[in-house]
Amino acid sequence: MKVAYTSRRPFADGPVTSPIPENDPVNIAYVLQGDYFSFFTLDKLSAEGLQKRLAPYDLVFVPLDLRALESVQRIAQACNGRYATYSEGNIADYQMLSPSDQIVFLSLINRAAINFLYWEKYVPFYQALTNRPVVYLPYPFLYEEAGSFRLPHIERARQVTLPSGLAGSTRNGLASLAVAKILLERGLIERVNCWLTAVTFAEDVQAVQHFVLGTPFSPPKVRWNWRQWLLKSGLDYRKLLALKKNRSQGQPSSLPPKIVDGLGLYRRQTWHHYLPEAAKTMAIIDMNNRETVGRNALDAAALGIPCVSTDRSDMQPRLFPATTLADSWDIDGAVALCQKLLQDDGF
């Protein structure tokens, strides 16, 4: 079977010859020995050209990406029933669509040859919406590659990892920080390592320090966010990414973190930068409030450290049932779990 995979992510078109960490569309195409096509390429084609480009494929994977619904609809129409939908974004994203666009969403899953979901517990929900097949598709995770960073317990510091700061949107970073702050104040840990979005790094550094340490906070000057502009513009910026990559060759792959009074403030850049540092800590704390696959739990499992998180992600309760919370704002419960993890080696 000849398979194509599509998404709005800015990867190169054509056969996928190697996996890319944290990029599930490309990795599924790699596993299926398929070809990848970016929306940046497909959006430029006429309806006839799009149909011709996808004609050689027996099955075309199309993301249920409700941020690019028009592109998704065009690709599905060009496939004439030879497409499969797959998870992209949040299970509840359809709620943000207009009634008309929700009908488009329903028509997409009802005309698909098959619908794949990363979240097994929501298969029944989709089955209630369509008579077409709905199947659980496990998230493609590079377990062996991630596991290569695992360290013996004795080499881990009394530190915890937070996957985001206050700029983490629905990652609920404030709740995660509240848990970590209490652990610091009780002397249960020596440092909290926060991984902050690079674009808002300076602002987030100030905000995290203000919340945890009580330092002054000065709102930063408004600056142009070129990344957000490019994402919203619809321009094909893959050449800019390639140029940036070429210009950065020979330069340090990451800037040093800011370490101050029990806080380690890191820029969240590449997976290979994040994992070696997370492996040195005692646990990952993620008070997630968004229906996700649960990549933080997958990272933690590969590194051999626990993840204290919520049942809002699919993998967390599977991998760490003993450290899974039912409430994303259960600070006391999260602190109690972390305290037990840090004090009881048998837990």
Neighbours of 53 (CB within 10 A): 18
- Nearest-angstrom CA–CA distance, 270 and 285: 19
Domain CATH number, residue 313:
3.40.50.2000
**Where do the DSSP E strands lie in the chain?**
3-7, 14-15, 35-38, 59-63, 83-86, 114-117, 134-136, 159-162, 191-197, 258-260, 263-268, 283-286, 307-310, 324-325
130 and 171 share one domain: no
* Domain end among 140, 162, 180: 140
Average pLDDT of span 235-243: 68
The number of folded domains in the chain is 2
Residue 249 lies in a domain: no
51 and 173 share one domain: no
What is the pLDDT, as a whole number, of residue 229? 64
**pLDDT > 90: what percent of the chain?**
60
Q: What is the pLDDT of residues 148-161, one digit of tens each?
A: 999 999 999 999 99
Q: What is the pLDDT of residues 321-338, one digit of tens each?
A: 999 999 999 999 999 999
The single residue listed with the structure tokens 């996928």 is 16
**Coil/strand/helix, residue 217:** coil
Average pLDDT of span 201-213: 94
Higher pLDDT: 177 or 245? It is 177
